[in-house]
Structure 1
Amino acid sequence: MRLIKKLSGLLTVVSIFNVLSSCSANVKSANYSNDIKEIKIGVTLYKQDDAFISEISKNIEDIAKEKENQGKYKIIVNVADAKGNLINQSNQVDKFVAQNYDVICVNMVDRTAASMIIDKAKSANIPIVFFNREPVEEDMERWNKLYYVGADAQQSGEMQANIIINAYKKDNRMVDKNGDGKIQYVMLEGEQGHQDSLIRTEYCIKTITQNGIELEKLADDTANWQSAQATTKMSQWIKSFGDKIEVVFSNNDEMALGAINAINDANIGGKKPLVVGIDGLPKALEAVKNGSMIGTILNDSKKQANAIFNLAYTLASHGNVNSIDGLEKGKYIRTPHAEVTSDNVDLYIENK
C-alpha cells in the first residue's frame, strides 16, 4: 500500500514537471531572439546621395523588413556610404568581414578595383553581390561566390534612341528644328570608364544612325551622374551653340534634370532642345508629364533591390542560388527597362 502511494506521488511530481516544461517551451518559442536565427547583410554604396542608388538602398531595407516580419530570421541590413572614396569602401568591407557578416553587397566606387574587395571577402569565405557597377569579367570569374545585379545597359541606350526615332518619324521638324536634315546633339555622359555609361552612349548613337537618321555631335562630356555638374556643362554648351542644340542625350535622369535647369535659365524660347534621360526617377517622370523631357528609360530600382536582396538572403540562409529566376551563367541578374513618354508616364507615376 505504501509502495502504491509512493508511486502515485512520484507520478504526480513527474506530471507537474512535464506541464511546467511544456509551458517553458511555449514561452521560449514565443521569444523572438531565442528562436530565430540572425542574418547579417552588409551594403556599401559608392555614393548614397546618388538618387538612383539611394532608391535601391531604401528598397533593400524595406524588402528586408518585410521578409523579417515573416518570422523565420532576424535580418540586419547595414548600409554604409563610401562617399565616392575607394579607401572608405575598402574600410567598410574590412568592418563587415571583421564582424562576420553573412553576405556583402557592393556598389563599387571604381569597378576596376574590384579585385581588392574580392580578396578581402574570399579570405573570410563571405559571398559578394555586386550591383549597378559591374566589375570586369576577369574579376567576376575569380571565385564562384561572386554575383552581379544590374540592368542591361545596351537595352537602355537602344530604348533612349527609340524615343527620338519615334518622335522624328512622327514629326521630323519637332526634332530637326532647323530643317537641315540632321540632328545636332550633345551627350552628357555619366562617368569616365564606367561600363554602363560607355554602353548607353554607344548604343544610343548607333541605333539612331542605323535607322537612317543623320546625327551631328556638337559636344560631349562627363558630369559624373550629378545634376549640378550637368547644369554647368549645359550652360557652357548653350553659350557656345545657342539654339543649335536640338537634342540632349543624358546617361541618367539626374544629369538630364540638370540640363533642363540650364535650358530654363537661358530663356532659349521656342527652340528648346529635346531632353531624354535614363532611370525613371520620380522628378524625371514629372518632367516627362509636364513636357520638360521628351522621355526617360525606366531602370527599375525596386526590381534591382529585390534581386539583390533575394540573392543575399538565399546565400546567407544557404539556399539554392541556382533556383533564383533570371540568374544567368550562375552569376548575373539583369533587370529589364521600359520606355517612358507622355503616352504612358501616368502609369509609371502611379506605380512609383
Structure 2
Amino acid sequence: MKKYLLALAVGTALCASPSMAQEKLKIGATVYGLNAEFMQIWTSALQQHPAVQNGEVEVTIFDGRYDALVQQEQFNTMITQQYDAILFVPMDVEAGAAPVQAAVDAGIPVVGSNARVNSEVLTAYVGSNDVEAGELEAKAVLDKMGCTGNVVIIEGPIGQSGQIQRLEGNMKALEACPDVQVLEQQTGNWSRAEAQTLMENWLTAHPDQINGVIGQNDEMALGAIEAIKAAGLDVKSFAIAGIDGVTDAINAVKAGEMASILQDANAQAQGALDIAIKAVRPDYEPQSEIWQQYPDMEWQDGGAKDYLVPWTPVTTENADQLLEARSKL
C-alpha cells in the first residue's frame, strides 16, 4: 500500500481539469492517521469516487498523525479556507466534538466515517458496527479455545470509538465464557510494532499460559503473531483474531494463523463522500456503486443519520476473491 501514501501526500488536492475549477466542490477529509493499510485504502477510495474522477469534486486529504489536536487545527484550516464539506475520521470520540461544532457553526456540513465522534450536529455517519465486530472476533477466539483458558486483549487507542465499542463487544462475548480469564489488557494503538512488543512481554510474563489473542484490529493481531513466531512457538496452537481484513491478515487467514473480519473501507469512504456532496447539493444522486453492492444499506435520499456497512468474515473460501478485489483498489 505504499503507493497510496505517495499518492496521498498530506494536504495534496486530488484535482481534475483546471477548466472545471470554478464548478468543483471543495471537500476536505481529516483522518486519524495514514501509517497503516486500512486508512490508506480508505483515502485511496476517495480518489476512485466517480465524482472525483469526473472533476465534480476536489478532495484534500489531511493526515491527523494520530493526534486529536492536529485534527482540530486541520478543521480550523478548512473552516478558514471555506471548504464546502468535511469528512471526519476522528482520533478521539470526545475531543472531536468541538471542531465539528465549529465547522457546523461556520455553515460547513461534517460527515463522520469509520470512527465515531460524540456530536449531535454531524450530517451523518458512514461506518460499521464496531460492537458487533468486537463480539464476532472474540467469539472466533473463544470458540477455538473451547471457552476455556486464558486470553490477552490488545486494544486500539484509548478514547477512540473503535477501542470503546470493540471492547464492549469483546466483553459481551467473554461473558458467555466465564471460565476464560483475561491475563492482560492494554492498548497497542492500532500499531503492529507496539502490539508485537506487548506480546513479547506477555509471553515472558505468562509462559505457556496464553491461549488466545483478541486484537482489536488486524495490525495488532499480526504483531502478536510475529512475537509468537519470534519466540519459537507454534502460532496455530493459539487462537488469534483481528478486525479489518487487511492484506496480510487475509493471507494469515489462508495460512490458518488467525481469524479476521473485513471492514469495507471503500464503501465507508465512498458512501461518506456521496452523503457530503448531497449535503451541499440537494439535487445530487449518489454515484458510487457501493449502494448497489450493499442494498440493505439504503440511500434514503442521503437523509439518514447512520449508514452501517456490513462486516464480511474472512474465510479460506473467500480469501482469494477478497485479495483479487483488493488488488484493484
Which category of TM-score, normalised to the shorter sequence, fits these structures?
0.7 to 0.9
Tell me, yes or no, if the aligned pair for 1:315 and 1:321 is still in contact at 8 Å: no
**Partner Cα distance (2:305, 2:179) in 1:** 39
Determine the C-alpha separation between the residues in 2 that align with 1:192 and 1:122. Answer: 26
Secondary structure at 1:278 match in 2: coil
Do 2:116 and 2:161's aligned partners in 1 also have CA atoms closer than 8 Å? yes
- What TM-score, normalized by structure 1, do the two folds share? 0.77
- Matching residue of 1:101: 83
Partner of 2:283: 319
Q: 2:172 & 2:53 partners in 1: Cα distance?
A: 48
Report the Cα distance in structure 1 between the residues aligned to 2:64 and 2:236, rounded to whole angstroms: 41
Q: Does 1:130 align with 2:112?
A: yes
Deviation at 1:208, TM superposition (A): 4.7
Hey, what does 2:101 align to over in structure 1? 119
- Of residues 266-275 and 89-98 in structure 1, the stretch that sits farther from structure 2 once superposed is 266-275
Give 1 or 2: higher helix fraction: 1
1:201 aligns to what? 167
- Equivalent residue, structure 2, for 1:163: 140
* Equivalent in the alignment of 2:190: 225
Q: CA RMSD in A?
A: 2.7
Match status 1:81 vs 2:63? yes
Residue 26 of structure 1 is matched in structure 2 by none
Is 2:33 the partner of 1:47?
Answer: yes
Question: In 2, Cα distance between the equivalents of 1:69 and 1:262?
Answer: 42
Q: What runs of 5+ residues in structure 1 fail to find an aligned partner?
A: 1-30, 169-174
Tell me, yes or no, if structure 1 residue 334 matches structure 2 residue 300. no
What secondary structure does 1:309 align onto? Answer: helix
Separation (CA, whole Å) in 2 of partners of 1:115 and 1:276: 31
Residue number among 128, 134, 143 corresponding to 1:151 in the alignment: 128
1:1-352 pair list within 5 angstroms: 33=19, 37-63=23-49, 66-70=50-54, 73-136=55-118, 139-140=119-120, 143=121, 146-164=123-141, 167-168=143-144, 175=145, 182-210=148-176, 214-269=179-234, 272-293=237-258, 295-319=259-283, 325=298, 330-352=304-326
CA contact (8 A) 1:118 1:128 kept: yes
Does the 8 A contact of 1:185 with 1:215 survive in 2? yes
> What secondary structure does 2:30 align onto?
strand
User: What is the distance in 1 between the residues matched to 2:311 and 2:267?
Assistant: 10
Q: Deviations over 1:224-258 (max 9, x none)?
A: 11111101100000001122211101100010111
Q: Give the deviation of 1:36 after TM superposition.
A: 7.2
Number of residue-to-residue matches in the alignment? 300
Residues 320/74 of structure 1: CA separation in 2 closer, same or farther (3 Å cut): closer
Separation in structure 1 between the aligned mates of residue 20 and residue 138 of structure 2, nearest angstrom: 56
In 2: Cα distance, 1:329 partner to 1:33 partner: 32
Q: CA deviation at 1:151?
A: 0.8
Distance 2:256 2:224 in 1: 14
Of 37-46 and 311-320, more deviation after overlay is shown by: 311-320
Structure 2 residue runs of 5 or longer lacking an equivalent are 1-16, 292-296
Note the alpha carbon deviations across 1:103-158, whole angstroms, 9 max, x for none: 0111122221233212321232010012222112xx22xx3x53222110121122
Mapped partners of 2:200, 2:63: distance in 1: 30
Q: Give the CA deviation at 1:34.
A: 5.9
Q: TM-score, normalised by structure 2?
A: 0.82
Letter paired with 1:39: L
Letter of the 2:39 counterpart: I
State the alpha-carbon separation in 1 of the partners of residues 161 and 235 from structure 2: 36
Distance 1:34 1:191, change over 3 A: closer
1: CA distance, partners of 2:248 / 2:211: 22
Residues 1:349 and 1:69: Cα distance change in structure 2 (over 3 Å)? closer
Higher mean C-alpha deviation, range 91-100 or range 278-287:
91-100
**Residues 52-74 of structure 1: CA deviation (Å, up to 9, x unaligned):** 122111111221xx33444xx53
Q: Report percent identity of matched pairs.
A: 28
